[in-house]
Amino acid sequence: MTSQKMIVEIQEWLKEAAAFIRVSLANKVTVSQKSNRTDLVTNIDEETQTFLIKKINKYYPNDSILAEEKGFDTIESLDGRVWIIDPIDGTMNFVMEQENFCIMIAVYENGVGKLGFIYDVMKDELYWGGKDLGVFVNDQKLQQPKDRALSDGLIGMNAYMYGKNIYAAGEIGHASMGIRVSGCAGIELIAMLKGNHIGYISNLSPWDYAAGLVLIEEFGFKYSDIEGKPLTFSKREYFLAASPTAYTQIQNDFVHKS
C-alpha cells in the first residue's frame, strides 16, 4: 500500500536527484544518440535513473521497475507494485536549453495509478498527488481546471504529428485556440494540471505518461491512445489526453470522422 511515508521518501529522492542534475549542468554532459540524432541520452539521464533505482531497491526490494534507460524499458506485467521512472523527460531540452525538462516517477499497484510526481527541475516545482489525494504543486493544493471545449483552449502537440496531420492533428490544432510545442511530456501535462492547456496529443512511451496519468485522472481529464483504446504501457503509442468535452470532440469530430 502507498503511504504518507512513501510520498515523503519520493519527494526527498526527487529533490536530491534534482540537486545532482543542477550541479551536473555546470560540468561536462556526455551526450549519445539512441535511435537517431534527435533521440538523445546523456550520462545524467543514466546516473539519475541509477540513483532512483537504488533507492527503490533499498526501501522496496520486492517491487518491479519500468524505466527508460539501461535495460529497464520492458516489463512482463503491471501486477503487484510497479515503479515507472523517466529520469529526464525532455532530454533534447536538457541538452540544448538546460530548462523545460522534468523527472517523473509513478507508483502503480496492479495496473492502477496510485501516486504521480512530475518535477520541473529548473523551476523547482514538484507536481504530485494520487488517487483520492488531490493534486499539489509543492505544498499548495491545486483546483480542478474547468471542462473547456476544444475551441476554448490551447492544446499541447507533437510537432511531427501536427506538421504531417497524423490522426488529423493539424486539423485539431486549427480547431483549438492554438497549439503549443514544448518537447517535454511532463511540461505539457503540467500545463493541463494548471488549466493552461485543455489537452495534449503526442507519441509517447509509458514512462512519458505514467506519472501524469495519475494526476490528470484525479482532475477528471480523459486519456487513451489516439483511437480511444486503453494505453498498453508496453510500447510507444499515439497518445491523447484532454478535458472531457474536448476529448469527445477530438474523437468524434476528427479521429473517427467518417
Binding residues for Mg(2+): 68, 86, 88-89, 208
Closest among 137, 151, 177 to 249, alpha carbons compared: 151
* Cα gap 10→6, rounded to integer Å: 6
Cβ neighbours around 113 below 10 Å, total: 23
* Cα gap 14→10, rounded to integer Å: 6
* Cα gap 88→111, rounded to integer Å: 23
Q: What is the arrangement of strands in the sheet containing 134-137, beginning at the earlier edge strand?
A: 64-67, 81-89, 102-109, 112-120, 125-130, 134-137, 140-141
Cβ neighbours around 236 below 10 Å, total: 12
User: Which residues are annotated as part of the binding site?
Assistant: 68, 86, 88-89, 208
Q: Is the dihedral of CA 220, 180, 92, 96 positive or negative?
A: negative
* Cα gap 149→197, rounded to integer Å: 11
* Cα gap 64→212, rounded to integer Å: 19
For residue 14, give the C-alpha cell: 526527487
* Cα gap 258→248, rounded to integer Å: 15
